[in-house]
Amino acid sequence: MQVSVAPFLFAILCLFGISRASQHNAPHFSVNNEKGRGRTLPKKDNSLVTPVVVNINFQQSLGTITSHFVGVTIDTGAVEHNWATLDFSSKKVQTLARALVPTFFRLGGTSADAMTYVLDTGRDHSDHSTIMTPAKPGFNMTAEQWVTINEFVQTVGWDFIFDFNALKRNADGSWNPDNARQLLQFSADRNYTIAGFEMGNEYDHYNNKYNTTVTPSQLAKDVVSLQSLLSEFPKYYGSFIIGPETGGIHEEYFQAFLAAGGSKVVRAASFHHYYFAGADRILSRFTDVKIMDSFKLQVDSVFNQTRSVDALLPVWLSETSSAYNGGAKGQSDRFVAGFLWLDKLGVASSKGIQTLLRQDFYGGNYGLVDTDLNPTPDFWLTVLYKRIVRGAVFNATGRHDVRVYAACANTDNFKAGSVVVYMLNPNNYTVTFDLHQFHTQHRDRYSLTAGDQDGLLSKYMALNGVKLELVHDALPHLNPAKASPGLEKMAPYSYTFLVFPDARASLCMQA
């Protein structure tokens, strides 16, 4: 039987045409799943057709964002390396640090459990403890280093939290406070203010890191010992303790510590969180809403465990960033990192976390300040968040592929009753938002995009199209654009704060 090839050729041509058309209409922004440059810009005609309708419930608050909601850290490893390139006397560094005030500052991390305090040659510094980080060599913090960090903290106005070495232990396994007592005496003699303390770092990982185990019940006893030690010093009698400082949310440790008596001592139940390993370097994870959602599940678990022991105990996220083990090189310090960071701030506030501490101010690949002492995009995002957002948090709904959060605006900078809505568009298409509750209101717009042609991998951030940089070691004016009522259009891969000064939200009038 003879078969004509014409229909087959026609079908093939049609399929080829459909394929070409599909390619033409596909998103055209290279995020590169592995290690690409991310430079390709979005096509101007690429947009989401249907506006995202945003609904905000102003009748009740999900939580409260305080002045100290966002804090920072410096990893204790910086002490081991004698602060590396961090110059505490630098005017630029002090300017960047003051921009974050008011803030809690934590000096802690893995190396905290390897550090001995050698502060005064006139005192006995012999180590009477029996366990000293068997899997990691110990090192000394000198009096000069301790004086340097305390004087810097006092100069810039940070509220200091210090992480004690928890692996200083007696033969019976209890914590040995001798070296900690020396540090407190040295500090009290110089009138150093220390707001709070921690006991060690990530006990749930001790077995892997140090081939050592400190049980939850023993840790609960240790924080009681720390509380007793603080009571010896009038200067620190009122300082708080947070714990258990777990690296995960394992019930066998986090909840067990609280249930064993830890909840009666600590000011807040504290845990750490990262999304993925820094070595993975998969760029698309920074804009993946599924990755963002994973944080919500962990926060829910933390609150369930905490509330099963104490219904009123606050929860702190005391160490957090995008990727653990120093962050993802060339990614955690770029514009793209802001999507996970801003979403984490939104989730944490709406879930009721009282304070979260960003790892870190300086150090690794995730610092707010890089090794050249220049601000990274997340620095500017953090400063803007602290200046704009404070007070009651409201439930906001929209679409799953974008993120929308709402809260009171900071009355230090906006009149009482003002509301801020902040939105993330982690997609390669323009999104229009219909904030129908504010249709007739003018707003202040802070639109944040990549600061140059490197796109997602830009080292810079632009505010309303203007690249943000220090001006003679001083911060530039971070002024909003005045916008008229109507729909809000967001560019691909951008995030925006909108402040509505005429909202007159009743829960924001009380601020």
One DSSP character per residue, 198-218 reads EE-S-GGGHHHHHS----HHH
Strands 494-500 and 419-425: antiparallel
Q: Report the 10 Å Cβ neighbour count for 22.
A: 9
Could you tell me if 370 and 279 lie in one domain?
yes
Q: Is 432 exposed, middle or buried (0-12, 13-18, 19+ CB in 10 A)?
A: middle
Q: What is the structure's pLDDT at 130?
A: 58
Q: What is the structure's pLDDT at 287?
A: 97
Could you tell me if 431 and 503 lie in one domain?
yes
H or E segment to which residue 504 belongs:
none
CATH number of the domain where residue 479 is located = 2.60.40.1180
326 in any annotated domain = yes
Residue 291, pLDDT > 90, answer yes
Residue 126, pLDDT > 80, answer no
Maximum alpha-carbon separation in the chain: 107
Q: What is the structure's pLDDT at 2?
A: 37
d(CA 344, CA 319): 12
State which residues form the domain around 476.
52-59+396-509
Could you tell me if 454 and 468 lie in one domain?
yes
33 in any annotated domain = no
194 in any annotated domain = yes
Residue 487, pLDDT > 80, answer yes
Q: Residue 30: beta bridge partners?
A: none
34 in any annotated domain = no
Q: Among 361, 391, 421, which residue terminates a domain? A: 391
Q: In this predicted structure, which of 72-86, 118-132, 148-162, 427-441 has the lowest mean pLDDT?
A: 118-132
Query: What are the Cα distances from residue 483, in Å, to 279, 314, 407, 492?
Result: 42, 38, 19, 19
Closest by CA position to 408, among listed 399, 396, 400, 398: 396
9 in any annotated domain = no
Q: Among 343, 371, 391, which residue terminates a domain? A: 391
30 in any annotated domain = no
Residues 199 and 175 sit within 8 Å (Cβ to Cβ)? yes
Extract the tokens encoding 181: 């007592």
Q: What is the structure's pLDDT at 252?
A: 80
Could you tell me if 319 and 215 lie in one domain?
yes
Closest by CA position to 142, among listed 72, 226, 210, 83: 83
Residue 1, pLDDT > 60, answer no
Q: What is the structure's pLDDT at 26?
A: 31
Counting residues of the chain whose pLDDT is more than 70, the rounded percentage is 87
Query: What are the Cα distances from residue 393, in Å, to 61, 65, 83, 115, 322?
Result: 5, 7, 37, 40, 23
Strands 419-425 and 481-483: unpaired
Extract the tokens encoding 128: 């009477």
Could you tell me if 197 and 243 lie in one domain?
yes
Q: Which residues contact 85 (CB under 8 A, 6 or more apart)?
A: 371, 372, 373
Q: What is the structure's pLDDT at 165?
A: 97
Could you tell me if 387 and 461 lie in one domain?
no
Q: Report residue 135's pLDDT band, with 50, 70 and 90 as the boundaries.
A: very low
pLDDT (tens digit, 9 = 90+) per residue, 29-61? 334 444 434 443 444 456 767 899 999 999 999
Count of domains forming the chain: 2
Average pLDDT of the chain is: 89
Could you tell me if 294 and 328 lie in one domain?
yes
Identify the residue with better confidence: 124 or 297.
297
Mean pLDDT, residues 223-240: 98
Could you tell me if 267 and 408 lie in one domain?
no
CATH number of the domain where residue 299 is located = 3.20.20.80
User: Distance between alpha carbon 313 and the CA centroid of its chain, in Å?
Assistant: 21
Could you tell me if 374 and 267 lie in one domain?
yes
Could you tell me if 372 and 411 lie in one domain?
no
Q: Report residue 207's pLDDT band, with 50, 70 and 90 as the boundaries.
A: confident
18 in any annotated domain = no
Residues 429 and 47 sit within 8 Å (Cβ to Cβ)? yes
